[in-house]
Every structure is written in C-alpha cells, then in structure tokens.
Structure 1
Amino acid sequence: MTHEERGDSLADQAAAWIPPWQRPAPPVEAAAPDRDPEVPRQGPSHALTAPSTPAQADVPDDADVVGAAPDDAGAAGAAAGETGVVGAVTAGGTAGAAVVRRQRSGRTRPAPEPAPVLDDTELRGALEAILLVVDEPVSELTLAQVLEQPPARIGPMLDEIAAGYTAAGHGFDLRRAAGGWRLYTRPEYATYVERFVLDGQSVRITQAALETLAVVAYKQPVTRSRISAIRGVNCDGVIRTLVSRGLIEECGTESDSGAFLYRTTTMFLEKLGLNSLDDLPPLAPFLPDDVEELADASR
C-alpha cells in the first residue's frame, strides 16, 4: 500500500467518524423471561427482574449478598442450584449479585426429661448407701438434690429408716446431728468400739481445754481476752489446741479492738451429738449461788 492510499484511507475514516453524543441510541432489547423453557431449572433458584442498576435492586433484609457475578443468567442459575441461592438478581441478561437467603430452621431445644420418681424401696436403699459413705452429717436438701427427688420425701423416709433400726435392735442408729443425718454406733456398745478403735491409745482433752471450750460454746463469738478474763488465766495455748483439733474456729474480728473472734464448729456439735447450739444444756444449774457477786468483783 502506498503512502497516498494510506493517507486517503485515514482521511476517509476521520471524515466518517461520528462523536458518541451524536450517535443514535441503540434499540432496547426485551426483558429476558424468568426462565428459558428449553433450559432445565437447576436448584431452588428463581430469576428475578431487577432495576436498571444492580445497586438499586430490592434485597430482603434477611438475605446475604454473596458478591457480584458478572456472568450470564444461566451461569448464575447453575451457581444458585449448587450453593442454595434462593434468588438471582439480573439486569439486561447480566447477573448483578447473587442473594442467599438463609433458611430459618424451626428446631427448638428439647425439654429436659423429668427425673424418675423412685419408689419407697429404691429410695430407702439409695439413702442407706449414701449414709454409709458420708464422713459428716448430710442435710436433707443435699440428699434430695443428689437423688433428684422432692425434699418433702426425704425427711419422712429418714425418720422411717431410723425407727426401723431402733425397732430391729441394730448396733447402730440414724440420728440428726449438726443440721444433718449420719449413722452412729449405739451408746451401749461404746466400750467395744473404743476397744477396737483406740487399742490402748487414748487422747483426752485436758480440764483447761474443756473449760475453754465451754466458755466459747456459751459466749460465742468471743475473743481470747474475754476467754482469759472469764477463766482468770492466759488461754492462748489452749485455744491453739482446740483450733488444731477442729473444735473451734475463727469467725471474724471485733469491730472495736480488731481482735479475732472464735466460735464452735460443726465437729463440736457432731462430737457432742447435738443438732444445734440450742440443744446445749442450760448453764444456770451449774453456776454457783454467788455468781453475781463474783461478776461484780471481777469488774
């Protein structure tokens, strides 16, 4: 091709060029149908007609837009069938975005099964088995929670078991102690039990420890200085002994002086066979006749 022919060709093209704003608008194509009858429907998808701009498409509030898919409507429908797409938004035969509607499952948490109600024979056996292994008195509420039974059944059943042991003349009985229940040997067999358990070894509480323990039991909560004032001697060593044996314990401090307060423990009630401190014998019969004069003199 010569230089002249090339120049004429470019000149002709330049003369025939029309700016875009002067070109006639292209004919508007008819909207694509929802689904081509010849194309098999894939998955649970439905092709929807969208506005002219994909961003203006009405998207349900409970739907998630998974991303733009610049592909033909058929590819969008296939993707919908594989990923569970409920609707595909298309504009002019082009998929603008695939909308995933998560199905709301109607599953509810099953109600817990009610605890089986034990008959009297099984309840009696379960209570006896637990009472044989406890190392301290156990309350009726704790037994009811462990056995998953109404607390109203536990108390009467324990009373019935205790009455049965007494009527049968067993060497042990079931008693209330320290706010709970526990099996104990009967007092008439105490000498045989002591012979077996102690085997010649005996550990006794001294008279000073008994006096200190009595003061704590009737005056609790009480400080060391108050105990020493009542007994008339220093009792620091005795208090340490009682604390180490688990008969008394600290229970706070006095607001004025900041001194430690002491009280009796559950073991104290258990060892004495008491259910609560209200079962302590009255102190008045053991006091001297001139106790008021002695109290005034100590002040």
Structure 2
Amino acid sequence: MSDEERRDSLADQAAAWVPPWDRPRPPAPEATPDDREVPPDESATAPGPDQEDLGRNAPLQGPEPSKISPGPGAGARASSGSGAGARAGEWGGGGVGEVAPEPVAAAESDGARDVPPRQPAGRRRATAAPEPAPELSDAELRGALEAILLVVDEPVSELVLAQVLEQPAERVGPMLDEIAAGYTAAGHGFELRRAAGGWRLYTRPEYATYVERFVLDGQSVRLTQAALETLAVVAYKQPVTRSRISAIRGVNCDGVIRTLVTRGLVEECGTEQDSGAFLYRTTTLFLEKLGLNTVDELPPLAPFLPDDVEELADATR
C-alpha cells in the first residue's frame, strides 16, 4: 500500500470515528437465577444525573500521553494498528456514564485481614486488678500482731496494723483486746495496753524496780525537781506560754523549758493571739513515757492540793 492510500485510509477512519457519549448503549444482559439471589449495589453502578451530563459539562480526559504514538495527519490521535473501537475502549469501555469500581489493594488479602489492627501508641491495655490478700485465721492474725508489737519502738495504731497485715480494721481491734486480756489473765511480766493513740507492750508496774535496776545500772536519768514541776504545769495548763508557767511557779523557767524541748517532752504549738508569745504543750513521747492514751487520763489535782490552798491564793494576791 502506498503512502497516499495509507493516508486516505487513516483519514476515513478518523472521519468515521464516533465519540463514546454519542454511541448507543448495548442492552444489559439478562440476570441469571444466581444473580437474582444477591441483588447488586445499585448505588455504586447506577448513573446519576450528574454522571449522565458528564460528557457535556466536563472536559474529556484522554489516555496518558505515553499511550499515544505520534503520526502524520489525523491518525496521530490513535495508536498504530488500532481503530475507533480500540480508541473507545481506552477512553472508557462501555461509555462515560459508567463508573468503574475502585481497585482492591493487593495487601488486603485473606491472610492480611486476619491480623488485628495495631493499637494507638497512647493507648495501653488495662491491667488486671490485684487480687485481695487472703484472710488470715485467728491464730495467724494473733501471731502476726504479737510479732509486730515486739519490734515497734513507739505505739502503733490499729489502722497501721490493719494496713500492714492487709486485714480489715474491724478484726484487728478486737484481736488486740483479746491479746491484752490473755496476757493479764496469764500473769505475764508484761502487758499490752493503749498509749499515745496506739498499742505497745509494757512491763507491769509491780516489776518496775527490777527493770530500773537492769536498765539504769547506777546511772541517773531522772528529771530535776524544777523540770518535773514545769512539766506538770504544761501538762495541766496546755497550751500555755512561758510567762504563764513562770507566774505559776514563781521563778524564771526559760532554761527548764529548753531542757524539756530538747528531751522531746514539750513542743511549741503556735503563738498566743494577744501577745504573740509561743505556746507549749506536751508531746506524744510524754504520753508514751507515762503510759497514757490522752492527757484526759491524767490524775486530778484536787487530792494533791493542800487544805489551805485558798488562803495561799489570797496571800499571793
């Protein structure tokens, strides 16, 4: 075939080419029984009003430039060896109105779908709650309490014992009372009693002479008479200022107060609102040394006062 005949053939093909939107649509194939059981998704395939006018309102998008081979004349728009039908297949197949389904990624295989999604970095798996401690029997609870009370160096409260043993406080209190009653009934040389808001083992008063002989061994650690008097004033008048203590005793007590503070029997507890002077009160160590639970258990002063206390008070005025 000569070059002129080839050009005429290409020109005829280009003149006879019909755009896809002007071509008649092929009839839809009849649905088989299997197709009727599972209806297709009409929302994904049915053309909408905007899709029907796509050819008139939107510019025609042709194939990529790499798929068009250059050629002379009108035949440059089509690939060599392809006619109008091949050109229409490249631009949309069955027509512009049809929407092709989105391709499925190759990574979404059956094996990949079985893998659980990765959790976000900020989210952590909830940890299981710790199991509660097993409840101790009465014998085990009694032994545990006795072991702790033997090593404490200050009175320990029922709440602290319950937390250490991981047992309810409702069991610890009655068990301590039972232990204290058992020691007293058995006649041991020690006893368990409340002191300074807690529980602690103490030697019995009837054996105090032997204990002092063993502990002191000739060394005197007793308080002086002035320290005892000052401590008594603080205990019964607390909170009280140094000037008030000096007025009651009739002498200056600054040095004695410093001694009692150093030994941990007296401590500061604020200032007086009117004068701004420091207030003093007894400490927990004071209650522990006397074996008292609160200052309310101090003995009354009335039996120790002289008979002419009113005459002495009038004389001092």
| TM-score tier (shorter) | 0.5 to 0.7
| Separation of aligned partners in 2, 1:213 and 1:159 | 32
Cα pair distance change 1:40/1:113, threshold 3 Å: closer
Task: State yes or no: 1:233 paired with 2:227.
Answer: no
Equivalent residue number for residue 151 of structure 1 = 169
Task: Say whether 1:34 aligns with 2:103.
Answer: yes
> Aligned letter for 1:242?
L
**CA separation of 1:282/1:40 partners in 2, compared to 1, >3 Å: closer, same or farther?**
closer
The equivalent of 2:96 in structure 1 is none
**Could you say which residue in structure 2 is the equivalent of 1:189?**
207
Q: Whole-Å Cα distance in 1 between the matches of residues 123 and 266 of structure 2?
A: 60
From 111, 133, 136, the equivalent of 2:129 is: 111
Q: Matches of 1:150 and 1:286 in 2, distance apart?
A: 44
TM-score, reference length from structure 2 = 0.63
Cα shift at 1:28: 3.7
Aligned twin of 2:139? 121
For residues 240-294 of structure 1, the C-alpha deviation after alignment (integer angstroms, 9 at most, x for no partner) is: 1111111111111111211111001111111111111111111122223444454
Superposed CA deviations along residues 6-36 of structure 1, whole A, max 9, x for unmatched, are xxxxxxxxxxxxxxxxx97526446365349
| CA root-mean-square deviation | 3.2
Residues 1:166 and 2:176 aligned together: no
Q: Are the structure 2 counterparts of residues 177 and 103 from structure 1 closer, same or farther at C-alpha, using a change threshold of 3 Å?
A: closer
* Residue 158 of structure 2 is aligned to residue 140 of structure 1: yes
Tell me the matched-pair count.
Answer: 226
Query: Which residue of 2 is the match for residue 176 of structure 1?
Result: 194
- Aligned position for 1:67: none
> Are positions 1:286 and 2:304 aligned together?
yes
Q: 2:22 maps to which residue?
A: none
Amino acid at match of 1:274: L
> What letter matches 2:184 in structure 1?
T
Bigger helix fraction? 2
Matches of 2:233 and 2:295, distance apart in 1: 13
The answer to whether structure 1 residue 269 and structure 2 residue 287 are counterparts is yes
Letter in 1 for 2:103: D
Change (3 A) 1:25 1:298: same
Identity score, percent: 77
Partners of 1:104 and 1:239 lie apart in 2 by 60
SS at match of 2:112: coil
From 238, 242, 260, the equivalent of 1:220 is: 238
Distance 1:236 1:119, change over 3 A: same
Tell me the distance in 2 between the aligned counterparts of 1:272 and 1:155: 22
> In 2, distance between residues paired with 1:141 and 1:237?
39
Structure 2 gap ranges (5+): 1-58, 63-89, 94-99
Q: CA deviation at 1:233?
A: 0.4
Correspondence 1:50-61 to 2 at 5 A: none
Offset of residue 146 of structure 1: 1.0
Query: Where in structure 1 are there 5+ consecutive unaligned residues?
Result: 1-22, 46-80, 87-99
Distance of 1:152 and 1:296 partners within structure 2: 54
SS of the residue corresponding to residue 44 of structure 1 reads: helix
Bigger radius of gyration among the two: 2
Instruction: Compute the TM-score of the two structures, normalised by the length of structure 1.
Output: 0.67
When residues 24 and 227 of structure 1 are mapped into structure 2, their CA distance, relative to the original with a 3 A threshold, is closer
Instruction: State how far apart, in whole Å, the 1-side matches of 2:315 and 2:243 are.
Output: 18
In the alignment, which residue of structure 2 is the partner of 1:71? none
CA displacement at 1:296 relative to structure 2: 5.3
Which residue among 247, 262, 271 is the counterpart of 1:253? 271
Aligned residue type for 1:258? G
